[in-house]
Amino acid sequence: EAQVTQNPRYLITVTGKKLTVTCSQNMNHEYMSWYRQDPGLGLRQIYYSMNVEVTDKGDVPEGYKVSRKEKRNFPLILESPSPNQTSLYFCASSLIYIDRGPSPLHFGNGTRLTVT
C-alpha cells in the first residue's frame, strides 16, 4: 500500500531532551516536507526537501532540523524541544513533474508531540 509512515504517533517529552520523529514513504517521491498544525493557524511548513541531500527552510524552521540521506526517509529533529513546539506534526511527500507542474501531497497520519 502506498503510504507515508510517521513514528511515533504520540510523544510526550520534557524541555531540552533531543528527539527525532521519523518519516518514510514508499512511493519513490522526490519531494518531502514537514508541517505543523496548530488550532487557528492551520498547516505551516517547517522544512522541505526536493531530493536526496537537498533541503530548505519553510515558514517556521526555528528549533527544527531535517536530513535527507535517502530518498524514502525524511526525519525531523528537535535538538532542544521547548513547550512552544507542542503541536501536531505531519510529514508529506509528492512527485515532482518538471513538465506537468505540481502534484498532490500525500500526508502521514501525524505525530502529536507534547513538550512539558
Partner 1 sequence: GESVGLHLPTLSVQEGDNSIINCAYSNSASDYFIWYKQESGKGPQFIIDIRSNMDKRQGQRVTVLLNKTVKHLSLQIAATQPGDSAVYFCAENQHMEYGNKLVFGAGTILRVKS
- Where on the chain is the footprint of partner 1 (CB under 8 A)? 4, 37-40, 42-43, 45, 50, 56, 88, 90, 92, 101-102, 104-110, 112
Considering beta carbons, is residue 73 or 86 the nearer one to partner 1? 86
Considering beta carbons, is residue 31 or 64 the nearer one to partner 1? 31
Q: Are 26 and 91 in contact (CB under 8 A)?
A: no
Nearest-approach distance from CB 24 to partner 1, in angstroms: 14
Contacts of 77 (CB under 8 A, 6+ apart): 18, 19, 20, 64, 65, 66, 67
Task: Return the C-alpha cell found at 6.
Answer: 510517521
Considering beta carbons, is residue 18 or 21 the nearer one to partner 1? 21
Nearest-approach distance from CB 103 to partner 1, in angstroms: 8
Nearest-approach distance from CB 86 to partner 1, in angstroms: 11
CA dist., res. 7 & res. 80, Å (int) = 19
Rg (CA), the chain: 14
